[in-house]
Structure 1
């Protein structure tokens, strides 16, 4: 196939994608609008299932965005959230011939000579790319993440259609203004296209977690990486869910590793791993038993200004000692506006749910009697119902991924059935917090890998 023919096929593929995504999203939107206009019942379960089946056939960012949305409580109707959570990053892989063309585009015509071995069949297929096993000439085992073609065009097509769906949602249910939510998710998904940035994220985490024995971070092989190819060291591990029936001590060790992998980078340099679903972690062995976690994916990483970290701690301390002024200051620092007494009470319902385990100085589960996929649903529904009377409210952009990651992390703890003193774990992380020191550490850490603060 000539380059011109291939480009024509790619253009045809982009146009086809716009049409398919547009038809699916517009069809769901039309059903919702018609039900609202004519006053008849809307079969949301059927529409959600139909939309999920349609999206599941499209590899790429719409799957990533759908999964992100599904884990933010009350952003979508529960029928849609439940269906979208079923989407898995199991897109049809690129075949060997296509992989060869893509690798040639990234590393040049002699790309195969750069490796001792490269497996052209993927070890895993995800929403934006696929992972191949390889071996370096020095014997190092590698994981090469190769981005699917035309992902930038696909991202823009999918985001444009999701903005239409969100706009309709705002008209149907104006209680929560979702404009900042879609802005944040769009920014993060666009960043995930830049594998050079992801390489910097991985290097940042390697430095921050260098002294944490429970968490392993892969090395970056910069000479075998580009903007659309990321080569990391291969970390052996087993799936997290294969350990949910192991002894409690092991499950608690893995949960502690997850807690530190998430909270330590946030409190020390202001970064979070914003996509804490189980596929982004594996469990490594140490002396013949599970020893900790491998942190695998660094695409969805959020850098926060130090003032935001201070506000997270201010809210915790304010709730702990019932200091209302400190609580309100924290919300305002995050970006919440026009906070009246009744709105503050509503926000506190959610805050006490998120912070509840961290305020309770005892060994406990993260939540009793709650299924992992339902973590936060009941409390989010209560907040949503209250906002119908007290709202509306705009969710600040910086709050979105923080909240979403906290929910995802809680779900992991529930899967593991962990029983920990979350209060002590959290206070170990914040006891030495200083705004000036975090600012200095963040500047140094980001500067060392070539990243800039938000």
Structure 2
């Protein structure tokens, strides 16, 4: 048995064992009924033990478990602190301590993807990975500057635009690059992990009732083929780099070369957002939050794309104050920018136009045509969520998100009952998930910024037509 299948069997066994451990603890916690929020459902001890077991296992895994953990990580700000703490520890493992591929395996992938003479393209290549991702790992290297175009047949390469080149600080000796190498067998491992994770819905409901992981897992499964294609990712990254070339606020590294399972881009040096969340200054937090919101709302209009993986590991605050953005495997294609109805309906809601909001939501499919609904109740449901856009400046906080999560997830809450009458059209699902994820990161940062002004500038329909 090779190393890769052996790891896959071990991973599957660990995931499969989780529901059994949860069932045992549930029996020990007899007498509790699932009628409200987590603190009312299960004792803190059982809730915390469930979280610790789940997140400790996720923290040991790659593949779909790692991708799922990263996607869900942006919502940890909504969890009680005693539950969120083990989650954050597991995510640190996911991002910093995943077992690396052996150097020989890395070299084999590079030879298959870039050709047997792959070493001739680099002045230096560090066999020790600088970072681990869900489907691949990143190595630091130095690309020869006298190879501006890739050899034919294996990959494509481009000269960096001026902004990317300046950040990478190329010298006559070479160009600092990040080389992302996909794990062999990553596709089947992802599908296997996500299938196993679909069994864990009860565990997540124990940690936070109202948290439904099935739509997230379904979306991850649908997007696997795109994320496994590094040449498709390279095309998306080139589009972002072109849109933000020489931008004073957003930096996107240039693509140097690409193959189906290897991607070479300019190296990005900066402070990871995870570090800023843990120990950054208030100024750093506010700057990072403002720039994340700017990227989220401006990218569809500028690049025709939405960065769809907003977890902190994909962002860096650069020494010059710009936001460095990496990993473009997950994007939403929005050639016309964000859908205009989003901005228009938010503006109408803030203006108190309840009937117009309901009419617009019904037209877009958020409310089924045959469903009668109280317009004022819909407005009451939306207004707390829209609070950040009702003022000139707003500070996102974990406390704010916990209140909103409790309001929407408590089965005895009017907001919960009204939410069950609303529908999420498939065309809005990815935008909705990415927007919620971005809000989760802003709450982790506890960032204050003029979010209303950012939305007025970039969200179609939000500013009234003069």
Q: Say whether residues 1:384 and 2:412 are aligned partners.
A: no
Q: Say whether residues 1:319 and 2:322 are aligned partners.
A: no
Structure 1 residues 248-268: Cα deviation after superposition (integer angstroms, max 9, x where no partner):
4x6654443222211101345
Q: Say whether residues 1:355 and 2:402 are aligned partners.
A: no
Structure 1 residues 216-250: Cα deviation after superposition (integer angstroms, max 9, x where no partner):
1111123xx222211111122233445965574x6
Quote the offset at 1:275 in angstroms: 2.5
Q: How does 1:210-229 map to 2 (within 5 A)?
A: 210=245, 212-222=247-257, 225-229=258-262
Higher helix fraction (1 or 2): 1
CA 1:47–1:73 in 2, change beyond 3 Å: closer, same or farther?
A: closer
Quote the offset at 1:151 in angstroms: 1.3
Distance in 1 (CA, whole Å) between partners of 2:311 and 2:180 is 18
Quote the offset at 1:193 in angstroms: 2.2
In the alignment, structure 2 segments of 5+ residues that lack a partner are: 34-40, 146-173
Match of 1:280?
Answer: 314
Distance in 2 (CA, whole Å) between partners of 1:92 and 1:349 is 48
Distance in 1 (CA, whole Å) between partners of 2:42 and 2:456 is 50
Match of 2:394?
Answer: 365
Q: Are the equivalent residues in 1 in contact too, given 2:310–2:437 (CA < 8 A)?
A: yes
CA 1:284–1:172 in 2, change beyond 3 Å: closer, same or farther?
A: closer
Match of 2:103?
Answer: 96
Larger mean Cα displacement after TM superposition, 409-418 or 61-70: 409-418
CA 1:321–1:429 in 2, change beyond 3 Å: closer, same or farther?
A: same
Quote the offset at 1:300 in angstroms: 2.5
Distance in 2 (CA, whole Å) between partners of 1:26 and 1:118 is 44
CA 1:69–1:283 in 2, change beyond 3 Å: closer, same or farther?
A: closer
CA 1:307–1:245 in 2, change beyond 3 Å: closer, same or farther?
A: closer
Q: How does 1:22-171 map to 2 (within 5 A)?
A: 22-25=16-19, 27-28=21-22, 43-72=46-75, 83-86=86-89, 87-88=91-92, 89-90=95-96, 91-138=98-145, 139-166=174-201
In the alignment, structure 1 segments of 5+ residues that lack a partner are: 435-454
CA 1:399–1:30 in 2, change beyond 3 Å: closer, same or farther?
A: farther
- 2:458 corresponds, among 429, 444, 451, to 429
Larger mean Cα displacement after TM superposition, 313-322 or 84-93: 84-93
Q: Say whether residues 1:197 and 2:232 are aligned partners.
A: yes
Distance in 1 (CA, whole Å) between partners of 2:337 and 2:450 is 27
Q: Say whether residues 1:17 and 2:11 are aligned partners.
A: yes
**How many residues end up aligned between the 2 structures?**
414
User: RMSD over aligned Cα, in angstroms?
Assistant: 3.8
Q: Are the equivalent residues in 2 in contact too, given 1:176–1:395 (CA < 8 A)?
A: no
Structure 1 residues 331-376: Cα deviation after superposition (integer angstroms, max 9, x where no partner):
446643445435x66664564344322232x3x3323xx33xx552
Q: Say whether residues 1:405 and 2:405 are aligned partners.
A: no
Match of 1:185?
Answer: 220
CA 1:397–1:38 in 2, change beyond 3 Å: closer, same or farther?
A: same
Q: Are the equivalent residues in 2 in contact too, given 1:125–1:131 (CA < 8 A)?
A: yes
CA 1:424–1:79 in 2, change beyond 3 Å: closer, same or farther?
A: same
Larger mean Cα displacement after TM superposition, 374-383 or 112-121: 374-383
SS in 2 for 1:116: strand
Report the TM-score when normalising by structure 2: 0.75
Q: Are the equivalent residues in 1 in contact too, given 2:76–2:87 (CA < 8 A)?
A: no
Quote the offset at 1:144 in angstroms: 0.5
CA 1:67–1:213 in 2, change beyond 3 Å: closer, same or farther?
A: same
Q: How does 1:341-352 map to 2 (within 5 A)?
A: 341=373, 348=379, 351-352=382-383
Distance in 1 (CA, whole Å) between partners of 2:354 and 2:440 is 29
Match of 1:441?
Answer: none
CA 1:11–1:424 in 2, change beyond 3 Å: closer, same or farther?
A: closer
CA 1:239–1:388 in 2, change beyond 3 Å: closer, same or farther?
A: closer
Q: Are the equivalent residues in 2 in contact too, given 1:70–1:82 (CA < 8 A)?
A: no
Q: Are the equivalent residues in 1 in contact too, given 2:366–2:425 (CA < 8 A)?
A: yes
CA 1:178–1:125 in 2, change beyond 3 Å: closer, same or farther?
A: closer
Q: How does 1:188-267 map to 2 (within 5 A)?
A: 188-210=223-245, 212-222=247-257, 225-240=258-273, 241-242=275-276, 246=281, 248=283, 252-267=286-301
Structure 1 residues 183-215: Cα deviation after superposition (integer angstroms, max 9, x where no partner):
223324553222222112211212332363211
Quote the offset at 1:112 in angstroms: 1.2
Match of 2:321?
Answer: 291
Quote the offset at 1:160 in angstroms: 0.8
CA 1:366–1:172 in 2, change beyond 3 Å: closer, same or farther?
A: closer
Quote the offset at 1:118 in angstroms: 1.2
Q: Are the equivalent residues in 1 in contact too, given 2:388–2:452 (CA < 8 A)?
A: yes
Report the TM-score when normalising by structure 1: 0.77
